[in-house]
Amino acid sequence: MKKVINALAACAMLAMAAPQTATAQESENNYRFVMVSHIGSNDPNMKWLTLSLEEFEKKYPNVKTEYISTNNYSVQEHVRLLEQVIATKPDGIAVPIVSTDAFEVPLRKAIEQGIPVVAFNIPDPRPEGERIPYLTYVGGDEYLTGKKLGEYALSRADLPAPKRVVCATHDSAHQGLKARCAGMKDAMEAAGAEFEELFISAEPATARNTLQSYLQANPDTNYIFTVASWSAPWAWGVANDMGLSPDVDDKGVTIITVDASPVALAGIKAGHVLATNSQGFWLQGYAPMEWLYWKHELGYEPQSDILTGPIVVDIENIDHWEGLVRNIFGDAYDEQNTW
Amino acid sequence: MLKSEIKRLVRRHTEIGILVISLCLVLLFTLTSEGRWANAYNIGTILQVTATLGLMTLGVALVIGTGEIDISVGSTFGIGALIYLWFAVRIDPVFAALLAIGAGALIGAFNGILVTRTKTPSLIITLGSLMIFRGLAIALTDGFSFSVPYKERDGFSYSVLGGTEFLGINTGFYWLVAGLAVLLIALKMTPWGNRLLAVGGSAASAHSRGVRVERIKLSAFIVCGVLAAFAGTLEASKLGFADGSMGRLMELQAIAACVLGGCVLAGGRISLPGAVLGAFVLSSVQSYLVVTGVRPQWFIFLLGLIVVFAALGDRTLRRWSLKN
């Protein structure tokens, strides 16, 4: 409830600040904001972020935005990129807190140097006062993402009751992915199911082999939660090859995934995936830039985190979401359908 | 007269080429990055990256000097980082570092014994150990990570092992300078150094003169493992974090740095300062691309292109020096 109130408060602040944007646009100050992301060009979600930055630049021509990212989910490389970006003394940084322990030193240094920081996509999970003193967090609640998707699966009476649920993760250090798994775990264990988290890696062949071994060793597994949408077809392919009936029906394995990406939506439409979520990726690119801008121009500091999701996407609302996402991805929508 | 003196200098010192390239790149990056590249903070970051990559590169250079190659150093780096961080929260970090270094020595010995006893090409053996120890790193962590909170990393032991800065430079860099000095002395002023290069120049000839070729090669692999694991320790101490992916692809950067620095892959001729400069060039190029906002899609491509041009530039300089 507190989170909902916080989100509403943040939205109210956004609405109150909106009339000020005309003033802000007339500013003669030039700014450079950098998004240092873990979402690289091998992840379709990058498109949401880069497109939202382009839109932001159209609205604020006096701001130059840059998108820097790792392509291999390496905290070691991500921290190095972050430090190099700090060295360029940008006017603002947006960064996901992939690992609190690894990111705390460089981010505190940046903040001490007067560079405003907004966390996006993954927050520092510690309570306020202990956490890295960034301006605000803009993104989904990863725990709620897992929990809501789990509860949605349980609410469907036409599906098999969960016996064993595996959460397949590709990034061992990603705090957000761990939180997604934790949310799913709480929902499923409350219904009496066994739950396990499995590291499959981001490399397709390794991921398939790992999943296949797991399913062979644990034949009672009947739900697979892939915490990235692009790994959902791998999970479906492995289960299908093993004859485990992975489509959405009253038998076999059921697959749940995340993100309103073309591959997740196409999976739902084809009956391969039960549900996914939207965590408002477009807003996660745009809103941090806007808050950084308002911090400089008007001194605004959000008083709470800004939640941009989750919303469950299933077969009922798939057509609506497909239209929206096609508008963002254009021709790339069909190219990214790997089913 | 001056021209012939310069040519003689280039011929005698293999690191001259990479030194010229480094200076040209530093000048280019300084002039074209509007102060984003050439500032104290960024240079400090580059030197930190150079420290860990450089230590690894020194070890690889020694193995290359014997006419062999070690492409498992990225995995050794990862194992070193994991062992260090797992123990650092349980015992004093200095002892944790010693355990990590010990593990590196064992991996080096594993590679060296297999290469020298079975006569299997070192490329094959170390390719296998690259996968074995990467797999072990992932298995040991069960796919997850070790970390130490920021507030618990303020002790002297963490600081001296790359966890903080001294005079604006990460303490890991001072370890690189010390490692370079020790190895230069060992290479230039001890019988071991002479024998190492003799083995790389011609193993048969060295053997005929009483050099125990297998023992020298084994020692080079062990030193290489020690340096890679120690580099991993310094990186883990700085980040307070280690996972199974630590050091991934660093083996290729280390080999590229050696080649850029004037090491001949066939063995017999290496330059340790050149190899460190090669590591500096790679770190600098990577940093330049980041600070100039190059899109991630082009990052690896441009880095590779610059490495190829730098290597060609070095080769051209050498050819010029050999012309009468």
Residue B301: per-residue pLDDT: 80
Q: Do B244 and A172 touch (CB under 8 A)?
A: yes
Q: Do A101 and B240 touch (CB under 8 A)?
A: yes
> A182 touching B, CB under 8 A?
no
Provide the chain A residues 11-70 that lie in CB contact (below 8 A) with chain B.
Answer: 34, 40-41, 46, 66-70
For A39, A81, B72, B212, B311, the CA distances from B304, given in Å and listed in that order, are: 22, 18, 21, 38, 11
Q: Do A68 and B245 touch (CB under 8 A)?
A: no
Q: Do B291 and A105 touch (CB under 8 A)?
A: no
Phi, psi torsion values for A265, nearest 5 degrees: -65, -40
Tell whether the torsion through CA atoms of A94, A99, A104 and A109 is positive or negative.
negative
Q: For residue B145, is pLDDT > 70? A: yes
CA distance B303 to chain A (A): 14
Q: For residue B63, is pLDDT > 60? A: yes
Pairs of residues, one from chain A and one from chain B, whose beta carbons lie less than 8 Å apart: 106
Q: Do A71 and B296 touch (CB under 8 A)?
A: yes
Q: Domains in chain A, start-ordered, CATH in brackets?
A: 2-140+279-308 (3.40.50.2300), 142-278+314-332 (3.40.50.2300)
Q: Which residue's entry shows tokens 């008083």?
A: A303
CA-closest candidate to residue A11, choices A260, A276, A290, A278? A290
B233, B81 contact by CB (below 8 A): yes
Q: Do B143 and A89 touch (CB under 8 A)?
A: no
Q: Do A68 and B296 touch (CB under 8 A)?
A: yes
Q: DSSP letters along A24-56, please?
A: HHT----EEEEEEES--TTSTTHHHHHHHHHHH
Q: For residue B144, is pLDDT > 50? A: yes
**pLDDT digit string (tens) for chain A, length 339 residues:** 444 445 444 444 444 444 444 444 556 799 999 999 998 877 778 888 999 999 999 999 999 999 999 877 788 989 999 999 999 999 999 999 988 999 999 999 999 999 999 999 999 989 888 999 999 999 999 899 999 999 999 999 899 999 999 999 988 767 789 899 999 999 999 999 999 999 898 888 889 999 999 999 999 999 999 999 999 999 999 999 999 999 999 999 999 999 999 999 999 999 999 999 999 999 999 999 999 999 999 999 999 999 998 999 999 999 999 998 998 888 888 888 888
Residue B172: per-residue pLDDT: 94
Residue A63: per-residue pLDDT: 96
The C-alpha atoms of residue A205 and residue A92 are separated, in whole angstroms, by: 39
CA-closest candidate to residue A238, choices A266, A274, A211? A211
The C-alpha atoms of residue B151 and residue B153 are separated, in whole angstroms, by: 6
- pLDDT confidence of B297, banded at 50, 70, 90? low
The pair of structure tokens assigned to A76 is 């070691």
A34, A46, A76 member nearest B239 (Cβ): A76
Q: Which residues contact B255 (CB under 8 A, 6 or more apart)?
A: B60, B64, B69, B71
The C-alpha atoms of residue A102 and residue A122 are separated, in whole angstroms, by: 14
B262, B271 contact by CB (below 8 A): yes
Residue A335: per-residue pLDDT: 81
More confident residue, A238 or B36: A238
For chain A, counts of helices (H) and of strands (E): 13, 12
Please state, rounded to an integer, the average pLDDT across all residues of chain B. 89
The C-alpha atoms of residue A132 and residue A112 are separated, in whole angstroms, by: 11
Query: A198 forms bridges with which residues in the sheet?
Result: A168
Tell whether the torsion through CA atoms of B183, B189, B192 and B194 is positive or negative.
positive
- Residues of chain B with pLDDT > 70, as a percent, come to 97
Q: For residue B15, is pLDDT > 90? A: no
Residue B138: per-residue pLDDT: 80
The pair of structure tokens assigned to B171 is 């303490």
- Mean of pLDDT values over B19-25: 87
- pLDDT confidence of B142, banded at 50, 70, 90? low
**Cis preceding linkage at A310, omega within 30:** yes
- pLDDT confidence of B296, banded at 50, 70, 90? low
ipTM reported for the complex surpasses 0.85: no
Phi, psi torsion values for A32, nearest 5 degrees: -130, 115
Q: Class for domain B14-322, per CATH?
A: mainly alpha
Give residue-wise pLDDT tens across range B193-202.
999 989 988 8
Q: Which residue of B has its CA nearest to A70?
A: B296
Q: Which residue's entry shows tokens 């370890």?
A: B175
The C-alpha atoms of residue B168 and residue B47 are separated, in whole angstroms, by: 10
Give residue-wise pLDDT tens across range B266-293.
778 889 999 999 999 889 988 888 888 8
Q: Which residue of B has its CA nearest to A74?
A: B245
The C-alpha atoms of residue A144 and residue A148 are separated, in whole angstroms, by: 6
CA distance A309 to chain B (A): 26
Which of B32, B77, B245, B252 is the best mutation test for A, with the most CBs of A within 10 A?
B245
By the 10 Å C-beta count (0-12 exposed, 13-18 middle, 19+ buried), A137 is classed as buried
For A249, A257, A264, the CA distances from A153, given in Å and listed in that order, are: 12, 11, 16
> A85 touching B, CB under 8 A?
yes
Give residue-wise pLDDT tens across range A2-22.
444 454 444 444 444 444 444
Residue B244: per-residue pLDDT: 83
A66, A72, A76 member nearest B235 (Cβ): A76
Give residue-wise pLDDT tens across range B168-195.
899 999 999 999 999 999 999 999 999 9
A121, A259 contact by CB (below 8 A): no
Q: Do B150 and A105 touch (CB under 8 A)?
A: yes
> Can you list the positions of beta strands (E) in B180-318?
241-243
Contacts of B48 in chain A (CB under 8 A): 83
A86, A104, A172 member nearest B141 (Cβ): A172
- pLDDT confidence of B36, banded at 50, 70, 90? confident
A92, A295 contact by CB (below 8 A): yes
CA-closest candidate to residue B184, choices B104, B271, B269, B244? B271
